[in-house]
Amino acid sequence: MSEPVLDPELFQAPPVARVPSATLGPVQRRLVAFGEVLLCSSVPTQLLLQDLLVLAGWSARTASGDLSLPFVFAVTLADTFLLIALMVLLTQAHGESPAELWLGRRPPWREALLGLTLVPLLFVMVVVLLNAVRMIAPSLHNVPTNPLEALATGGALNAALFGVVAVVGGGLREEMQRAFLLRRFEQHLGGAAVGVVVLSAAFGLGHWTQGQDAVVTTAALGVFWSLIYLRRRSSLAPIISHAGFNSLGVLRIAVTGV
């Protein structure tokens, strides 16, 4: 007897509803892209997740009024997984490949190695820029103690939890977001240069609570990582360099306390 033939369609994922881009006019495509940028900016998803956690009885603040590390940890991880799922679905809905978007066509090991070699350069760049900003415009150093860095103090467990936040929320989520959002600007919202400026400015302003000098520094980092992605067409180097940079920063705070 011949063996039964299995239908290959049984092993295929259910089809993703595709956005009929070809049938949309330029204005409609821009509106769709703008909506996707807002949806995947972390603002609506984080607000939703924070509200859900508060309704579940979690508090964003400790009894002393400081940020709650467990709350930040939970929001960061949930937001990361939710955003990645959204970006994958939206990318597939446009008939694009998530692997092509985030991994490109270069050898992954080479991109990972590049990411590691960029970490010392990033530290030097940030030290020089931060000191230059404080020398030229000392009033921008308006937050003596970074409220987020305080989460890494208080023991090895706190440092480890905040390290996960820094790597997952910073290195992974933010760089995958950057690639996805840059693609939307590149295709429908004015081009890659506009995307670099807008996203880097937003990235800097997202660190407003850490001080105005931190806004300038992180905006410059946003430009740097954006250009690396656009040049390499792979998120691996930005992810690894961002995660490495954040990890060493958490380690410094955990060891020195400053």
The answer to the question of residue 137 being in a domain is: yes
The answer to the question of residue 18 being in a domain is: no
| pLDDT band with cut points at 50, 70 and 90 for residue 182 | very high
- Alpha-helical regions (H) of 137-256: 156-164, 175-188, 192-205, 212-232, 236-256
The answer to the question of residue 241 being in a domain is: yes
Q: Looking at per-residue confidence, does 102 or 149 come out higher?
A: 102
The answer to the question of residue 12 being in a domain is: no
Supply the Cα-derived Rg of the chain in whole angstroms.
21
* Residue written as token pair 């446009």: 94
Return the percentage of the chain with pLDDT > 70, whole number: 90
The answer to the question of residue 88 being in a domain is: yes
Rounded CA separation 194/200 (Å): 10
**Residue 124 is part of which domain span?**
26-256
Rounded CA separation 18/227 (Å): 29
Which residues have CB under 8 Å from 21's CB, separation 6+?
29, 94, 95
Q: Crossing angle for the helix pair 175-188 and 236-256, nearest 10 degrees? A: 140
Query: What total of structural domains would you count in the chain?
Result: 1
Q: What is the pLDDT of residue 15?
A: 45
Residues forming beta bridges with residue 61, ordered by sequence position: 67
pTM of the predicted structure, to 2 decimals: 0.87
The answer to the question of residue 19 being in a domain is: no
| pLDDT band with cut points at 50, 70 and 90 for residue 145 | confident
Determine the Cα angle at 67 with ends 226 and 217, to 5°: 30
